[in-house]
Amino acid sequence: MSSILSTLPALYQDLLPDFFRKDAPTETKATCSNCAMSRASAQATVESVDGAEHLFRPDTKCCTYQPRLPNYLVGALLSDDSPQMAEGRRRIEAKIDSRIGVSPQWVKPPAKFNHLYKNAHQFFGRASSLRCPYYALESGGCTIWAYRESVCSTFFCKYVAGRDGQRFWMSLKTYLTLAEFQLSRHALLQLMPEFLLDGRDKAEVATGPLSVEDLDDAAPPAKVYAALWKGYAGLEKDFYRACYDAVRTVTRDGLERMLGLDGTIEQKVLEKLHTQATAPTLPRVLRFNPDATVKWLPDGSVALGSYSEYDAVALPGEAYSLLVEFTGQKPVDAVRQHLRDHKQADLDPDILLELHRHRILIEP
């Protein structure tokens, strides 16, 4: 297993607490190089809960989300002159030159994309028009992966630990998002404090009305852009590099102070969920989840889903009939004994644990 830190951009290696050196859950089911959700994948056909309508396009995979990159990660990418990052640098430079979604705190998606993403999420992975601008169509990879943000670092279509794995990675995303917000503000405090004093750094909680420029994929008016960037208009790339330099001086203790009580709480939640994802235990009492989806497959087996529309558990058809015996009224051991005595059948604890992790069987 690799550490949690190894799943994140290298910039965080000396910044995050010791907890992040623990082993990360290994997500072997989310096979990005041979997309488990692609229409070309036999695994996706078997494991999708509701059939082919949820499968991803091979030429987008799950990359129909566009990242919001904090200023210091943009600067880190621009400062990386390695040949491996040449295409990523070219694309981020083109994005900055477009002035669309470019601010002292973030390089983010256009407002029109946010509107579409929010209102057409059912087309996630299926609409080429939503494809990430940093996606490498030829290789199916990411041109800026070494400097990815929190969502791209923590999303998987399927989780080995089921719902427990999903909760861990979502909690890690929350922690990293807080770190991105505070570190980007730290850089702004050094370089453009008036941006903070004017309240321009507030968290974006809603999408505002679209402007003509948003609809036409055009840059904001020159006066608006100049007012946003002050004396750095035209020097944005230098500004982002300076943000990276400012964040590189932050110590582990310094980041802890920036994150404050929110960071302490989020880390404790993360530690708890890490244990649940990596060292699961079978609950004493379980019941069949009445909200689980059931799809009978041509070979007589059944696909059961609950926690995610992208992930299901396949069982022999005869095993499905045993699950209704788990009513939440008796301990698991008693139900298994009943099955052995009256149906000459049994469900192994490992199978029951897997069903619980996918929330097919739930605690009362």
* DSSP alpha helix (H) spans, 249-283: 252-278
**112 bridge partner residues:** none
Tokens 């995050």 -> residue: 16
**Could you tell me which residues come within 8 angstroms of residue 68 by beta carbon, excluding any fewer than 6 positions away?**
106, 107, 108, 109, 149, 151
Q: Residue 32 is encoded by which pair of tokens?
A: 């990005």
Over residues 147-162, mean pLDDT: 97
**What is 285-362's CATH number?**
3.90.930
**302 bridge partner residues:** 296, 315
Q: Residue 89 is encoded by which pair of tokens?
A: 């640098």
**Domain spans in the chain, listed from the N-terminal domain onward:** 5-278, 285-362
Question: Could you tell me what percent of the chain has a pLDDT over 70?
Answer: 95
Instruction: For the beta carbon of residue 133, count every other beta carbon within 10 angstroms.
Output: 17
pLDDT in tens, 332-348: 999 999 999 999 999 99
Confidence of residue 205 (pLDDT cuts 50, 70, 90): low
- Average pLDDT value over all residues in the chain: 93
Q: Is 97 within 8 Å of 262 (Cβ atoms)?
A: no
